[in-house]
Structure 1
Amino acid sequence: MSKAAGKLKTLKKTADKITHTTKLRTNIPAGMAAAGPPLGPMLGQRAINIAAFCKDFNTKTSEMKEGVPLPCRITMNSDRSYNLVIHHPPATFLLKQAAGIQRGTMTPGHEVAGMITLKHLYEIAAIKIQDPPNVMLTMKQMCEMLIGIARTCGIKIVRDLDPTEYAKFLEERKVIVEDQRRELQEKREAKMLRTG
């Protein structure tokens, strides 16, 4: 009986060393990590020193444009320290920036929200292929993945873009986006009236 109790004690010691926390995956704006929600509570639940993390993150991202969303992967160690891996901005963000638009289309495949050239696509692929999940991909595979993402955003990929024609297209598009925004707002208000 004492032999079994000794084995149980050894197993308990081993079990105490295992950490059951999951990897935290979140987007944090560059240089803007703050202790408030939503980041603060997520870090607090995992027993990470919030102030130290925010200072560390803001220091690491100080050379980037403030507010750019950065996908982060945070793993916790048993001694309450953490490992922070910061990826490049999301592909959708980079594609919309290249196209000069704020948001994608509401009906993918039916309307064009913006356009980028093949050169833009290749440059974005060169950035995104450096992220840990993409390092095993070939440049061709990365470009194909980005083409799919661009399609869902309503971004058309073209060989050449005339800046004046594209500026005219974006001006016309602003009117459409404003109409869509107004329509969405009306739907929200109608829904609020029904539920209220």
Structure 2
Amino acid sequence: MAARGARKVAKGAKRGVEKIIHPPFLKTNINSCQAAPAPPLGPNLGQRGVQIAAFCKEFNEKTSHIKEGIPLPTRVFVKPDRTFDLLIKSPTSTYFLLMAAGIQKGARNPGNEIAGKVTVKHIYEIAEIKSKDQGFEHVDLKNICQLVIGAAHSIGIEVVKDLDPEEYGEFLAERKLIVEQQDKELEEKKQAKLLRL
């Protein structure tokens, strides 16, 4: 008797559960030449009915001319017949700025500290690359430069006219010590918080 009641409850619960419908649009970052069916990419594509092996092969072929491991903002548009359109953009402005400045990460307090420096020429070159992305085709290069400068300031990178390599090398050595000290303080705060729990 109790088994029948449990079955009825289970059937009722199945009717109440709605199927999750995923949008046909997927926005993600994938490293160039490194698309693989492993999570998180594989499950996201599988939920939308995309053949994962075909996607990985096409993505890796399209990015074979790019240095391996560069994070590329990617948009996948899934069609009703389970085929897809792939839009691969150039790396983010932040990625280019960090590479140009020769640092791994931006400042913890962007308004109060400088994590690195780039020249106006770097800004111009990054803006030229970004101007080829979809969405920037009809935007003036000057406006794109201003957006890149804004991105630089948001991660604590200073824009300068000229940069002396020796002075900048000394700056980076000092900055490395500051970052190590910040990491040490952060780790101490985490440990103190864990002890309180």
Q: CA deviation at 1:194?
A: 4.3
1:16 maps to which residue?
none
| Aligned residues of 2:31 and 2:68 also touching (Cα < 8 A) | yes
Structure 2 Cα separation of the partners of residues 122 and 149 of structure 1:
13
Rounded Cα–Cα distance in structure 2 between residues aligned with 1:20 and 1:176: 45
2:22/2:48 contact within 8 Å kept: no
Q: Deviations over 1:42-100 (max 9, x none)?
A: 11111111111111111111121111100001100111000000000011000010000
Is 1:69 matched with 2:66? no
Cα distance change on mapping 1:159 and 1:185 into 2, 3 Å: same
Pairs within 5 Å for 1:98-137: 98-137=100-139
Shift in alpha-carbon separation, 1:113–1:20, aligned structure 2, 3 A: closer
TM-score by length of 1: 0.86
Amino acid at match of 2:183: R
Secondary structure at the aligned position of 1:70 is classed as strand
Unmatched 5+ stretches in structure 1? 1-18
CA pair 188-36 structure 1, distance change in 2 beyond 3 A: farther
Count of residue pairs the alignment pairs up = 177
| SS of structure 2 residue aligned to 1:132 | coil
Counterpart Cα distance in 1 of 2:110 and 2:134: 29
Q: Which moved more, 1:185-194 or 1:54-63?
A: 185-194
Task: Tell me the TM-score normalized by structure 2.
Answer: 0.85
SS in 1 for 2:135: helix
| 1:77 to 1:165, Cα distance in 2 relative to 1, 3 A | same
| Cα distance change of structure 1 residues 186 and 34 upon mapping to structure 2, 3 Å threshold | farther
SS class of match (2:86): strand
Q: CA RMSD in A?
A: 1.5
Corresponding residue SS for 1:44: helix
Q: What residue number does 1:167 align with?
A: 169
- Gaps in structure 2 of 5+ consecutive residues: 1-20
